[in-house]
Structure formats: structure tokens, C-alpha cells
Structure 1
Amino acid sequence: MKKSIIKLILLMCTISFLNAENSKYFDIDEYIKFTNQEQITTDFIKQIQKDALKIKQQNKKVKIVLVYPGKQLTDYWMKSKVSFEKRLDELGIDYELVLHFTKPHVETRVQSKLLLKAIKDNTDYLVFVLDASKHAKFIERIISREKPKLILQNITTPLRKWQKSQPFLYVGFDHMIGSQMLADYYIKKTKGVGKYAVLYTANGYVSYMRGTKFIDYVSKNSDLKVVHEYFTNTSKEKAKLATLDLLKQDDDIKFIYACSTDIALGVIEALKQKDLVGKILVNGWGGGSSELQAIQDGYMDITVMRMNDDNGVAMAEAIKLDLEGDKQKVPTIFSGDFALVEKGIAKEKLEELEQRAFRYTQDNAK
């Protein structure tokens, strides 16, 4: 009886937490409808896919600062920077770009200092992320000012509390859409039955959207049960240790759901050590170079691949429109496309996806 009551309380707490987190953000379609941005969003997406058209006019050189959590194994952040620069160059924009790489989750104090410096240095456009709760406080200080104009990367769900006073642009690849694609793959592959584990990044936005939402979707659409959950701070070594720990308890789980590239590579190392590659499924998240290599080598079973360079192009095109006085043509959100890449994919198909995803960055993001 007591166990049943405890389970009920835990379930009620989980539902309450999910509802609270859901209420913080607009879904993409919901926000676009809320702001009547259907047409400008459609037009902007078309502009991203076209060749660059030179800027009509520019009165002064603009300063752009990127504060990225780029000290990771994934090449997403460097590719973002390269595609952004190349599109700015093609557009003929006169700019100065300053790049700062920080460690994800653990350097919020460093990040806050860099944001304050960007404001003091009269920055025109600031590109940052929103993952930890502390980030929101920094961001609110910035969007209350006229300068710098803020681009939030790796988030596509506007915060409700900011209503229409939003950052200049949200840009990235919707975490929930990508995670649901992976969930559908796992449900089909396992026939919806069995146990699995989830390895999160840190306690924040990305873990919620990629991890918690994944579990919620799987539970609603299958009989799969999550039996282990770990936070890893996006550390490959911590992911490896977490995997070894969970395997001591359950070596019959069907798959390990990894919320990032670094985590996936740590899981793979542990599976290699235990000779369980191919017996327990593992995914990547993002489809960068290291993940695609792991797919080709047969160590990774599936990844959701971002059409990576579109986000850099979107940032450049938004700045161009703003400089031309056409800010009203910039939607609040740009969310890029995904493709599933499975182990055994034909070489020709993979090359086709790489050409599309890395149209500006193949062999350049090193």
C-alpha cells in the first residue's frame, strides 16, 4: 500500500514538473500563430536556401560577439561560426567578429563576464545560448536594452514571460522534434518493449527538451521503461563511467539514449570495453563529423543529423535584413531541418546529406 502511494506521489510530482516546464515556453507553431508570423517565416526559410544577395547599403562596420559553449567534442559550434562568417562575407557585410568558447554548464560566471564586456564594448549583435536558469537573468538585462541585439542559438522555443519583448532571433534545430524522431526509431526497433537508460547533459533547458520530453513521448507511445537516468555535464568521461555503472545493474537494457555527441562517444567507449557494441543500441545527437564517423565504423546505431550550416546562414541573413532597415522581415524563430542517419546508410546517401548539411563547412571546421 505504501509503495503504491509513493509511486502515485512521484507520478504526480513528475506530471507537475512537466506542466511547469511546458508552461515556460511557446512551441514553434504556437508562437508563429500567436505573432502572425506565418508568411515572414516562410519567406525567411526560402531566403536561407537561396544564394546570397549582396547587402543594399551599410552605414558602418558592425561588431558581432559570439559566446559559445564550444569546449566540447561536437563540431557544431565551430561549424556554426564558419558558416556564419562565410555567409556574412558573401552578403558583403562589413563586420568585426569576436569569438569566445566556454565550457558548457560549468562556466556561467565566465559567460556573465563576457556578456557584460560585450555590452561595454558597444557590441551591435551578441550571439549566446540559453540552457541554465542563470542565463535567463543575463538575457533579460540585455533584451531590456537597445544594444546589443541578441541572437539566442540552440533554442527555438521562446519564453512566455517575455511575451512580445523577445530577443532579435531564436535560431537552431528544435530539440523536441529531433528527440521525437529518435524516439520513433527506438520504439520501432524494440517493438515498443524493454528497458532503457537516459544520459542527460546538465540540469537545464537542453536536458529537459532532449531528455525529459523524450521519456514523456516514449512512455505515451510504447511500453518501454526508463530504468536509469544520469546527468553527465556533457562530459565524455562521466558518460562512460555512468554507462559502466548502469551496466553493472542492467546489462539487458535495449538502448542508451544519449543527449549529446560527447555523451554518445562516452557510452560507445563503455560498450566497447564490455564487448556490448551492437547488443545495446546507442544514438548520437546532431550528426556532426565524429558521430557520422562512428556510424560508418559501426559503433553508433542512429543519429539525428542537423542541416547544420543553415543556422549560420540564418543569423547572417537576419543581420543583413536588419541593416537594410527590414527588421520586420526577420521572424522571431528559425528552426532548421533534420535527417535520420542509421548504421549501414549507403555511402551516396550520406554524401548527399553531408553536402546539404555542411554546404559552407566541409573540411573547414577544424
Structure 2
Amino acid sequence: MKSILCSFFLIYSSFLLANPITFTPLSAYLQQHPEQRFISQKFASVVTSPGQKSQIAQSRPLRIFVVYPGKQISDYWRRSIASFTARLDELNIQYEIKTHYTRPSMAQEQQERLLNKATRYRADYIIFTLDTIKHSELISRILKVGMSKLILQNITTPVLQWQDTPPFLYVGFDHVKGSQTLSHYFKEKTHKQGEYGVVLWSPGVISETRGQSFIDDIEHSSSLKMVQSYYTQASRQSAYRSAMNILKQNPKVKFIYACATDLALGVLDAIREKGLTHQVMVNGWGGGEKELAALQQGELDVTIMRMNDDNGVAMAEAIKLDLAGKSAMVPQVYSGDFALVTKETSQKELAHLKAIAFRYSGLPSSTP
């Protein structure tokens, strides 16, 4: 059986979605599936409460295989694993975990090799992400084989093509909601007037859901004009180059919107070099340690801060319910909470938010 599954995984390379990935926004999904609202609300209360030990006797440890784009400045992915395993320990669930961190722009062939390894490992749960069509091809194979239950991290918009055989769980923080919150902040600060630039992730889901949703919201409800936007190589260095181009060609921009932590820091590098720290605003996205340090230094203007560890806790609690035969109590999507944090946010309030957001993964230092 093992060799058959591995062979299938390797030869199923001819599969390609007939159409581009079709996502259902979380708000629309909940309207289409009203029963999910109650399940989600009840599950969310479990996530924010102290863990209760599992009473299920396991015949063996669970096998969990993780492939994360964790080789970046953002600490989101590393904190995700830390909170996930800490909650599993608190729940008294026995497990073995194999974690592989890759670069965000890692070649599909390398990711495919890792997922083939997960198949050979006969993982009970595979935790992966979705940002490109290539990712969707790999995910479709896993869903087709059906041997492992799939958790998709950092994605909260169900894929229409997989509605008949969906992943076990979509988990993360709603990119659209977070981006629109930042849009509202910039509209208020600029009085809805002026020019701005955008620095995007590499082409894919992150750029679309965080970038285009921001641009659309700005266009629909303000007179702000986007003068230039760039896709990047999902790195600080490429964001720096993009921001330098924006600042050279459009010296009157009021802000540059960045779609991720690494991009925000690259934009900051360019703003510092041009001596425009107090003239051009820039945001973070996620509220990890590096972003909070930049906020405290007064260089970063604002970020949308994820209650980071909730995503790891949610994965652990979903597995606990599944282990107990209660998978019907696991929502299709878990989307964690945000808080808008600015450089004016008080130290007391920031300390309170950190205590919630990093309650398992450890608090970042209070000084830059």
C-alpha cells in the first residue's frame, strides 16, 4: 500500500486545475454555510481558554509533518510551531513531529520532495500553506490520495475546487480583514488625499488578498492615488529596491503599503536611506517581534497585529477533537483575531496584547 501511494503521488504530476484557484471570502463562506458560524464561535472559545487534557488512550503517537516557508524575518511560522506543540503537550497528546522550514520562493520540486517524504512517513496530519497555483497542484494530490489529513496554514478562504474533498482545516488570520483595517488607518491619516505606493509579495495569494484588497478599498472610498506598485522576490532586499524606485520616481508619496514583515523592513531601509522617516509612512503586517521593535523606535507607523499563537492552539485543539471522534466540531475555517497597533500605542496596551498574542511562543523583548 505504501509503495502504491508513493507512486501515485509521484506520477500524478499531469493534474492541473482547469481554472485558476477560486477562493470564497470568509464572510461569504459563512453566509453560504450558516451552521459554521455556531461551530466557529464555540471552537474560538476553546482556543482562547486554557487547554483541557485529552482522555483518549492512544495506541501510538500521532505523526505530524510540517512544511512551512519559515526562512524569513517574520517570526509567524516559528511561533506557530511553538504554540502548536506547546498546546499539544498541554492537552497530553502524544505525537511525533517533523518540521521543515523553506524559503518563501522555494522551488516547487523541493516542496514536492518534502511532501513525497510526508507520504512515505505516512503522516496522520500534514500542515502546509497555499500561495500559488503550484502549491494548489501539490495540495490537490494530497487531497486525492486521502491518506493524511491536511491543515492549510495562513489561508482562511476556502477553495471552491476542493469543496467536495476539503482540507481538514483552513487556519490563520483573514488577510482581507487585516488589509482593510490598515486601509482605514491610512485613509484617516491622509484625509483620503495624496499619492501612495505598494510593495507586494511575490505573485500569488498573499499579494492578491493583502495587496489587491487594500488597493480596492482605497480606490472605492478615497481620493488617494496609487502611483506605483511592485511585486518582489518575497525578501527584504527586493522590497528595498522596489521602495527606492518608488521614492525616486514619486517623491511626494505619503505612504508605502507593505504586504509582509520582510517587505516592511525593506521599505524602512529605503526610507531611512532617503532621510524620509518622518515624511513617508509605512506599515507592518502581522505584528511580530521585528515589527514591534520598529514601532517602539518610532520608525514603523502602524501594523495589524495577529494574536499569533491562536493559530497554533487552533490546530492542536482541532486534532484533539478529531482524535476523540468529534471532527464535526472542528470548523472548516479558523480565523484568529487582530489588533491595530501604532507607534502611539501605549506600552501598557502593547504589553497586554503581547501577553495574549505570544502566550505560548514567548514574549518578544520590551526594548528594540
Specify if TM > 0.5. Answer: yes
Pairwise CA RMSD: 1.4
Q: Is the 8 A contact 1:268 1:299 kept in 2?
A: yes
Q: Is the 8 A contact 1:305 1:340 kept in 2?
A: yes
Q: Is the 8 A contact 1:105 1:132 kept in 2?
A: no
Amino acid at match of 2:224: L
Name the residue aligned to 1:206: 206
Q: Is the 8 A contact 1:258 1:264 kept in 2?
A: yes
3-state DSSP of counterpart to 1:37: helix
Report the CA distance between 1:243 and its aligned residue: 1.1
Q: Is the 8 A contact 2:195 2:224 kept in 1?
A: yes
Q: Deviations over 1:118-144 (max 9, x none)?
A: 011101100000001101111111112
Q: Is the 8 A contact 2:173 2:335 kept in 1?
A: yes
Q: Deviations over 1:253-285 (max 9, x none)?
A: 010000000010011111111110020000000
The alignment's TM-score, normalised by the length of structure 1, stands at 0.92
3-state DSSP of counterpart to 2:186: helix
* Distance in 2, Cα, partners of 1:315 & 1:139: 18
3-state DSSP of counterpart to 2:253: coil
**Of residues 24, 27, 38 in structure 2, which corresponds to 1:26?**
24
Report the CA distance between 1:205 and its aligned residue: 0.3
Aligned residues: percent identity?
46
Amino acid at match of 1:45: A
Relative to structure 1, the CA distance from residue 354 to residue 364 in structure 2 (aligned partners, 3 Å threshold; closer, same or farther) is: closer
* Distance in 2, Cα, partners of 1:274 & 1:61: 55
3-state DSSP of counterpart to 2:50: coil
User: What does 1:92-131 correspond to in 2, within 5 Å?
Assistant: 92-131=92-131
Residue ranges of structure 2 left out of the alignment (5+ in a row) = 1-18
* Distance in 1, Cα, partners of 2:364 & 2:258: 27
* Distance in 2, Cα, partners of 1:180 & 1:272: 26
Report the CA distance between 1:363 and its aligned residue: 4.5
3-state DSSP of counterpart to 1:298: coil
Residue ranges of structure 1 left out of the alignment (5+ in a row) = 1-19
Q: Deviations over 1:75-105 (max 9, x none)?
A: 1010000000000000000000111000102
* Distance in 2, Cα, partners of 1:91 & 1:150: 20
Deviating above 6 A after TM superposition, structure 1's stretches of 4 or more consecutive aligned residues are none
3-state DSSP of counterpart to 1:251: coil
Name the residue aligned to 2:45: 46
Report the CA distance between 1:60 and its aligned residue: 2.3
* Distance in 2, Cα, partners of 1:227 & 1:108: 33
The alignment's TM-score, normalised by the length of structure 2, stands at 0.91
Name the residue aligned to 2:325: 325
Report the CA distance between 1:248 and its aligned residue: 1.2
User: What does 1:260-279 correspond to in 2, within 5 Å?
Assistant: 260-279=260-279
Amino acid at match of 1:41: S
Q: Deviations over 1:208-261 (max 9, x none)?
A: 000011101110010111111111122101111111112111111010000000
Name the residue aligned to 1:12: none
Q: Is the 8 A contact 1:179 1:210 kept in 2?
A: yes
Name the residue aligned to 1:60: 60
Name the residue aligned to 2:314: 314
User: What does 1:244-323 correspond to in 2, within 5 Å?
Assistant: 244-323=244-323
Q: Is the 8 A contact 2:289 2:364 kept in 1?
A: no
Q: Deviations over 1:165-209 (max 9, x none)?
A: 210000000000000000000001000011100000100000000
3-state DSSP of counterpart to 2:145: coil
Report the CA distance between 1:107 and its aligned residue: 2.6
Name the residue aligned to 1:17: none
Amino acid at match of 1:294: A
Q: Is the 8 A contact 2:354 2:363 kept in 1?
A: no
Name the residue aligned to 2:166: 166
Relative to structure 1, the CA distance from residue 157 to residue 325 in structure 2 (aligned partners, 3 Å threshold; closer, same or farther) is: same
Which stretch of the first structure deviates more once superposed, 340-349 or 300-309? 340-349
* Distance in 2, Cα, partners of 1:54 & 1:48: 13
Q: Is the 8 A contact 1:193 1:224 kept in 2?
A: yes
Name the residue aligned to 1:84: 84
* Distance in 1, Cα, partners of 2:27 & 2:228: 33
* Distance in 2, Cα, partners of 1:230 & 1:195: 15
* Distance in 1, Cα, partners of 2:146 & 2:238: 41
Amino acid at match of 1:352: H
3-state DSSP of counterpart to 1:233: coil
Q: Is the 8 A contact 2:70 2:77 kept in 1?
A: yes
3-state DSSP of counterpart to 2:106: coil
Residue 343, structure 1, aligned to residue 348, structure 2: no
Name the residue aligned to 1:233: 233
Report the CA distance between 1:364 and its aligned residue: 8.2
Amino acid at match of 1:28: L
Amino acid at match of 1:269: D
* Distance in 2, Cα, partners of 1:158 & 1:115: 21
Which stretch of the first structure deviates more once superposed, 31-40 or 165-174? 31-40
